[in-house]
Amino acid sequence: VSTSDVRHLMTIADLTPKELTFLIDRSAAIKAATKAGEIPEATALKGKTVAVMFSKRSTRTRISTEGAVTHFGGHAMFLGKDDIQLGVNESLYDTSRVISSMVSCIVARVNGHSDVANLAKDSSVPVINALSDAFHPLQALADILTIKESFPDRPLNTLKLAWVGDANNVLHDLMFACAKVGIKVSIATPKEFPVSEDMLEIARAAADEHEGCVIETTHVPEEAVKGADIIVTDTWISMGQESEKLTKLKQFAGYQVTNELAERGGANADWKFMHCLPRHQEEVSDEVFYSPRSVVFEEAENRLWTMIAAMETFVIKKGKF
């Protein structure tokens, strides 16, 4: 198999709407079966190793990845940034060739997106992006599953999601995913942080396939939350941006998700709150975060079920949906 035949998961933009829906449905089925005690015999990855190469911190992504490998009876080998030669003593190309010759999959969390893209280019096994500065596909899978579960009586194409926060990696894949399943998206970011036109173009091309599905942007949080069923935010200071913290905190004044904001803007009465976590108080009040509207802990748990489905599809079934 040439490396170009290997199917990787770099961003939700890599998936067709059908493939995305398949992964969400498969996640829900695995979740239901496991909770019902129908634990499959864990053999598909028995005797196999998955390299978990993370150059940034992680709670959910690391645990869900290791849990997914365990689900299939394999071994997840965690390699932190100080563990391997990458970046210090060895090139990305050499690292990719070497690691992929010994494992069944590489799950990588990197700084610049080109790092994970280059790893994938030269890898003979699937590479799954566990977060880069541009994308976080695994988070978006869990988010769509959580939205489905939160609105069991509403077809996805009747829902509206509002993003109030930074124009970041999590937003990019979330808006692609929403557009692919027909969820309308309205995004409020401070004027200093507009959503990238290139990313909007990808999202809007997918949204065009669904009647009435639009991806809107504004710099007024109240406008974004109007008629929203789901309000989502993320940290204002992503990993690697720590030096910008003081400036960014000022630029995001008025962006905290609160009940007052939702009410002023006219969100739907039964709106739900989502956040990929980790969370800081500046971006969402305790009152919202710990309220019955908040589905953040269900969303976090869904990282496991969606990672199991991703591992099954990309690694065990070698990208055959």
Q: In the complex, which residues of this chain contact ligand NVA (CB under 6 A)? A: 131, 168-170, 234-235, 238-239, 276
**Between 217 and 238, CB nearer to ligand CP:** 238
> Which position's Cβ is nearest ligand NVA?
238
Residues within the interface to ligand CP (CB under 6 A):
58-61, 131, 139, 276-277
Residue 234 binding partner per list ligand NVA, ligand CP, none, with a CB distance cut-off of 5 to 8 Å that depends on partner kind: ligand NVA
Closer to ligand NVA by CB, 228 or 276: give it. Answer: 276
Contacted by 238, from ligand CP, ligand NVA, none: CB < 5 to 8 Å by type: ligand NVA
* Binding partner at 312 among ligand CP, ligand NVA, none, C-beta below 5 to 8 Å by kind: none
Among 105, 178, 213, 276, the active-site one is 276
Please report how close the Cβ of residue 55 comes to ligand NVA at its closest, in angstroms: 12
Q: What is the 3-state secondary structure (H, E, C) of the chain?
A: CCHHHCCCECCHHHCCHHHHHHHHHHHHHHHHHHHCCCCCCCCCCCCCEEEEEECCCCCHHHHHHHHHHHHCCCEEEEEECCCCCECCCECHHHHHHHHHCCCCEEEEECCCHHHHHHHHHCCCCCEEECCCCCCCHHHHHHHHHHHHHHCCCCCHHHCEEEEECCCCHHHHHHHHHHHHHCCEEEEECCCCCCCCHHHHHHHHHHHCCCCCCCEEEECCHHHHHCCCCEEEECCCCCCCCHHHHHHHHHHCCCCCECHHHHHHHCCCCCCEEEECCCCCHHHECHHHHCCCCECHHHHHHHHHHHHHHHHHHHHHCCCCC
Active site residue 276: yes
Of ligand NVA, ligand CP, none, which one does residue 104 interact with (CB within 5 to 8 Å by kind)?
Answer: none
Enzyme catalytic residues: 276
